[in-house]
Amino acid sequence: MTLRRVAVYAAVLAIAAWVALPLLLITLAAFTPREVLYQWPRPLWPSRFSLDTLAFFLRSTGVWPATLRSVQVAVLTIALSLALAAPAGYALARYAFRGREALQLLILSVKMFPATVLSVPLAVAFIRWGLYDTVVGVAAVHTALSVPFVTAIVTSVFAGVSYELEEAALTLGSSRAQAVLRVTLPMAAPGLAAAAIFTFVLSWNEVFAATILTLDRRTLPALIVDSVLGAGAPLPFRFAGGFFMVVPALIIIFLIRRYLLTLWGVTVR
């Protein structure tokens, strides 16, 4: 083994440990008995594990409804984002048209100025529109925040489906819409599914807008922030909450690992 390769593997191990260790520790904390979390001296590795920290979190007031609401908001966000971004992505992939660059700039600017700037004025408007403290209201904002990512991935997915196949369907007598529905969409399906899954993560994790735009009907992150800031939630609640929020992320990043670069690899100009 050359010195260079030793250096490469040393760096790889150090970085891998830096990423993995905190994940291991929060998992450990979530399965540590509640009283051990307050114990001193505190053992580095708990002598026994238990489910009561997690059970305490899941039984806390509002956690289940908030979890359910988070899922509802995420599903609605996925539906809205795909309905808006799929046609736009198709247009960006297949047509050269005037205003194309302006549209791309608009979409890119959403990626750069997200939740904080939008939430406060929208909260004021939502009270007027009757959308305040509703699942639909939060989903609408999450859709605005995720549209750039969904459009980017949908555009590249459609660009990856060869246009010849669509043309072949056209010469065989189907209309453009039929060709898209029967030929292009099925081939684009895995990429669209990846976009949907990534949208789920964005919405599941979003804190600021959800906290500002809801009061009684909190999403899970909004509920956790609220109970930490307002009620000073106990440590087991916080650790179990952190772990509970991370688990879907681990699964989802695994599912979409092939598309990670497409989602973010869009340069400013």
Partner 1 sequence: MAVADADLSAAPARPRVDWTPYLLVVPVVLFLAVFFLYPMAQAIWLAVDDPAGGLTPAHLRRMAADLYFRPALRFTLVITALAVPLQVALGLAIALLVHARFRGHGAFLYLTALPLGISDLAAGLIWLSIFTERGYLNALLQTLGVIAHPVVFLTLERPGWLLAAIVAAEVWRATAIVMVILLAGLQLIPRDYAETAAVFGAGPWQTLRHVILPLLRPSLQTALIIRTILAFQLFATVVALAGRQVPVLAGEAYFWYALYRSPQVASAYAVLILLLSGAVTWVYLRGLAPRAGEGRA
Binding mask 8-37 toward partner 1 (x if CB under 8 A, else -) reads xx-xx--xx-xxx-xx-xx--x-------x
Angstrom distance (rounded) from CA 254 to CA 190: 14
Q: Determine if 136 is a binding residue for partner 1 (CB under 8 A).
A: no
C-beta neighbour count of 148 within 10 angstroms? 22
Q: Which of residues 138-167 bind partner 1 (CB under 8 A)?
A: 140-141, 143-144, 147, 151, 159, 163
Q: Which of residues 197-236 bind partner 1 (CB under 8 A)?
A: 201, 204-208, 211-212, 221, 224-225, 228-229, 235
Angstrom distance (rounded) from CA 248 to CA 134: 24
* Residue nearer to partner 1 on the CB measure, 60 or 262: 262
Q: Determine if 105 is a binding residue for partner 1 (CB under 8 A).
A: no
Q: Cβ contacts of residue 180 below 8 Å, gap of 6+?
A: 90, 166
Contact present, 224 and 166 (Cβ < 8 Å): no
- Among 1, 2, 3, 5, the residue binding partner 1 under the rule CB under 8 A is 5
Q: Determine if 172 is a binding residue for partner 1 (CB under 8 A).
A: no
Q: Determine if 178 is a binding residue for partner 1 (CB under 8 A).
A: no
Q: How many binding residues for partner 1 (CB under 8 A)? A: 103
Angstrom distance (rounded) from CA 7 to CA 4: 5
* Residue nearer to partner 1 on the CB measure, 60 or 119: 119
- Among 76, 195, 227, 241, the residue binding partner 1 under the rule CB under 8 A is 241
Q: Which of residues 63-82 bind partner 1 (CB under 8 A)?
A: none
Exposure of 153 in the CB half-sphere (CA atoms within 13 A): 26
- Among 75, 79, 120, 170, the residue binding partner 1 under the rule CB under 8 A is 120
